[in-house]
Structure 1
Amino acid sequence: MNVSMEFLVASGIGWVTACGVFLMLRGRSFPVVLGLTLIGYAVNVFIFAMGRLWTSAPPIIGNGEVIADPLPQALVLTAIVIGFATTGFVIELALRSHHESGTDQVDGKEPGA
């Protein structure tokens, strides 16, 4: 059985996305933050995989041979910085919600109460 690298990357992105969605549907704040982070990672790997990985190829400047596209790498680097800032902001919102409501439930109410 010959499994291609594209299949492995696509299934890995799918699993990370599925785990992120599962965690986002939980009732507590911390799993929701982890789910958002996992979905961000899946999107970053998806964008990076769309740009293809070339070996020994110069970026943009070339004389007719295969050239590497630097745009996906630039987009992923920017997305990593924005994702880090967004994660910090969401963690701060979760901490503030826990401080104000006394629970870490997303809706602010304990189950069964």
Structure 2
Amino acid sequence: MTTINIAMAVVLAVLYSVGFYLLLQRSLMRILIGIVVLGHGANLLLQLAGGPPARAPVLGTALPEEFADPLPQALALTAIVITFALTTYLLALGYRSWVLTGHDEVQDDLEDRRIAEAERPDGSMEEDTEGADDGEDPGSAAASNEPAEAAESAR
């Protein structure tokens, strides 16, 4: 049985913590970098799980105890492909966001805020400290010509 050394455990912890921190940001480029860093962390974890380098698993060349486990290597290749696919998708998403809005920051959905405010129970400890939103979402029911009661009855 082989154990992982402390340096590799620290490197894995740093990769995963940086990756998750970047995933929680609003910029699509930071999210993209977070996905890439998490992919590298997953690949390193899978390679460490495979154990130390060993002989190729070909019968007749070595004893079965000396064979390397091919499963972690296959899983690492799969993780590389998944990370590449997510990277290309997020690059396309970031480019499209840049073309449409001029920035890559993910905005809050105003309608989601309104629904959360309407579902908050009376006497809730959470008070709205930010105040009302001045900008209206052009696609929302509040920005249309319908009265608020008609939009509520439609639900």
TM (norm. structure 2) is 0.60
Q: Which amino acid aligns with 2:52?
A: L
Unmatched segments (≥5 aa) in structure 2: 110-134, 136-155
Matching residue of 2:47: 48
Contact 2:4 2:48 (C-alpha < 8 Å) held by counterparts: no
CA 1:7–1:92 in 2, change beyond 3 Å: closer, same or farther? same
Q: Deviations over 1:10-32 (max 9, x none)?
A: 11011011111121222211111
Q: Deviations over 1:28-73 (max 9, x none)?
A: 1111110111011101111111111234x23253434321111111
Q: Which amino acid aligns with 1:58?
A: A
Contact 1:24 1:35 (C-alpha < 8 Å) held by counterparts: yes
> Which structure's relative contact order is higher, taking Cα pairs within 8 Å and 6+ residues apart?
1
In structure 2, what is the Cα distance between the partners aligned to 1:90 and 1:40?
A: 14
In structure 1, what is the Cα distance between the partners aligned to 2:89 and 2:23?
A: 16
Matching residue of 2:89: 89
Q: Does 1:67 align with 2:53?
A: no
Matching residue of 1:29: 28
CA 1:101–1:58 in 2, change beyond 3 Å: closer, same or farther? same
- Of 57-66 and 13-22, deviating more is 57-66
Contact 1:44 1:76 (C-alpha < 8 Å) held by counterparts: yes
Q: Which amino acid aligns with 1:37?
A: V
Matching residue of 1:38: 37
Task: Give me the identity figure in percent.
Answer: 31
Q: Which amino acid aligns with 1:15?
A: V
Contact 1:20 1:38 (C-alpha < 8 Å) held by counterparts: yes
In structure 1, what is the Cα distance between the partners aligned to 2:49 and 2:91?
A: 30
More helix by share: 1
TM (norm. structure 1) is 0.79
CA 1:43–1:83 in 2, change beyond 3 Å: closer, same or farther? same
The alignment yields a C-alpha RMSD, in angstroms, of 2.3
